[in-house]
Structure 1
Amino acid sequence: MAEYIYLSNKDTLIIKPSKKSPLLLRLIALLFAVVCGVFFCSIRLKQMSIGSRIRFQPFQVLGRSYSEYGIKQIEISGENDTKQLEVPPVYHLTQIEVPGENDTKQFEFPPVHYPKPQTFNRTECAHNPVQYFAIISMQRSGSGWFETLLNSHMNVSSNGEIFSVMDRRQNVSSIIKTLDTVYNLDWFTSASKNECSAAVGFKWMLNQGLMQYHKEIVEYFNRRGVSVIFLFRRNLLRRLVSVLANSYDRYAKLLNGTHKSHVHSHQEAEALSRYKPAINSTLLIAELKEMELTAAKAFEYFNSTRHIVLYYEDLVKNRKKLKEVLEFLRLPQMKLKSRQVKIHRGTLSEHIQNWNDVKKTLNGTEYGSLLLADYRR
């Protein structure tokens, strides 16, 4: 590189480097920019190629047969063919598959909601997500007891049988309006946790418009990300006893002139259990089949939703099932308690007036196992 050498006024030797060419600096900067651009583009193209292989699909876990659930497979004869209704799996989740080096990993992405209620301000909880759920069941299947367990969680608001009122289910519009109010946290009951709810829902019986408008309701559930909790009883004979006894008490009002579907003391439970209904043995098998068919239809109608299947007897025998429910709702684990007391304890022979007729009718049939005591509590 050329250098300029000159003498200053004080005869001091000074050496100055020559100035670099501006053209050369520009070429170096341009080359650096091109290299960086190629590098970042290659990374982006690689990410896009991986993303194109990710695909959404409905994923079902643990499909089970009717025999495993205690409910048999039912054949429905149609005009041209016979249709079999299958019990759905324990979970129905929406997942993605991400190709890995040696296998495929599955990740669940549950819906996340941030409601903005019109009637109050969520204040410090405004940024906390809320899960939407609905408990689908039939009367006298343990749903009241189960709901009190859920409501003992400090962040759960389950608002009872809101569609027991006819005006709320007279048509699809009234149903959707009610659902929007509930899931927007603008529905207030004694169970409401208001701004700090982490899961909000209610009980919905099959005979409360749910089956009649099932297509519209399924579309709403999937669009709003509502998780379904199926809750039924394995022993349909026990359910029938409970239905008949509850119906009698509705008119007889055995507890000091009042009717109570659920009791909170052993004294009240003992008073109600004294009534022993007489079951029509001639129609018994037909009634049991009808219960099975109704539950099977509900499973079929709502199988496309994100759901979990529970049975009352399993919850009573194994409280770890409640942990699965909290995991399903993405809630922190807590010990859940209920003040409700079971009314009909012990063997069924103690609670059916014409036990011998019932036993004779069911023995040797597909419903014979219902005569046995299947749990204790």
Structure 2
Amino acid sequence: MAELFRQVRLLDPVSDADHVADVLVADGVIQQVEAQIADFPEDVEVCDRPDLILAPGLVDLYSHSGEPGYESRETLDSLMQSALAGGFTRLALLPDTDPAIDNPAGVERVRSLLRHAGPIPQVDFWGALTTQVKGEQMTELAELAAAGVIGFADGRPLQNWALVRRLLEYCQPLGKPIAFSCCDRQLAGNGVVREGLESMQLGLPGSPAIAETIALAALLECVETIGTPVHIMRVSTARSVELIRAAKSRGLPITASTTWMHLLLNTSNVQSYDPSLRLEPPLGNSPDQAALIQGLEEGVLDAIAIDHTPYTYEEKTVSFAEAPPGAIGLELALPMLWQKFVETGNWEGRSLWRYLSTNPALCLGQTPANLQPGQVAELTLFDPQHRWQITPQALKSLSNNTPWLGQEVTGRILRTYPGR
């Protein structure tokens, strides 16, 4: 099947493109990119919508699957549909399923569940750093590497620094990304929002910023001593951005990401007590939010992660402090970020695509997708003016734990080309 996109806006951070052109795609490959294409096959399907955006597929650094173990939250099939509906052509799944992806059999188990699926994104798996992601005993890292995991991460903060040191030493020769989420659990205590004036006004237990930064500082010391490249997940505080900036200036081999919701919201939004705003790490205060945005713009932070975390209605319909942390996001991140930053003129479209596509691929050690002729058509077709209502029926995810449920949003992916 051949398709011709007439006068669409092309966004491609790899070639620094942001212009209008015709694009011909056939047999899953980008055939031509020209100002105008006059000569094309007779049976080509023509898309004549100059208001649309054609860009490389999005890449999610880390998200959670319900299946296996928690299929009532999300099956692999619903997760794949949700990813495609959100424009994601590559997805890296965290290992905290049940059973956990902590051995080669676990990797093969999940792969086998995906074999009979229809068109799906490229799915990669983070291999667990510790058995059953409990943070106690190191997994057989070399065996997981041989099984083809994309890298190593528990997705949960580790508390044993002797274990962290050993993990960095053992991972170094394996040549795969290793990702850490930083939090000192003792300092965080039972905190569910960022500590500060607003947490007191809300009457909710606060988690101090130093719960993140003390753990981050310790991790950076380990990296400086051992030299193993590390990805820092879920950065959420202004001080963390400062620490990462200083570490990068010293040449430490680190990359870092924050999540899309920490860019859009802060503690003031928790006044609704919506359990879908109970996140981990908690939403930052306003200065934290501003520092994360600036950190991305300056290249201190490399990428935006989705951290899609589905929960059932029953699990989330409890008091804020009792709700499990996490929210869905694969279908919502691009339109919400586009409206917040691109439509307002704060970011160029290429910048947002760099944070959501090019840089996440680089953090995973992958070659980013691009719009050059001859490349596999790993694409998203985005309508930035399409208005739709976020309802359970409109979402592909089985779960709908999002603070925007019932609201209208502008911007939607019309089609995703997985490139597979």
Assess same fold via TM > 0.5.
no
Q: Taking CA–CA contacts closer than 8 Å with sequence separation of 6 or more, which of the two structures ends up with the larger relative contact order?
A: 2
Normalising by structure 1, what TM-score? 0.29
- Structure of larger gyration radius: 1
Say which structure is richer in strand: 2
Say which structure is richer in helix: 1
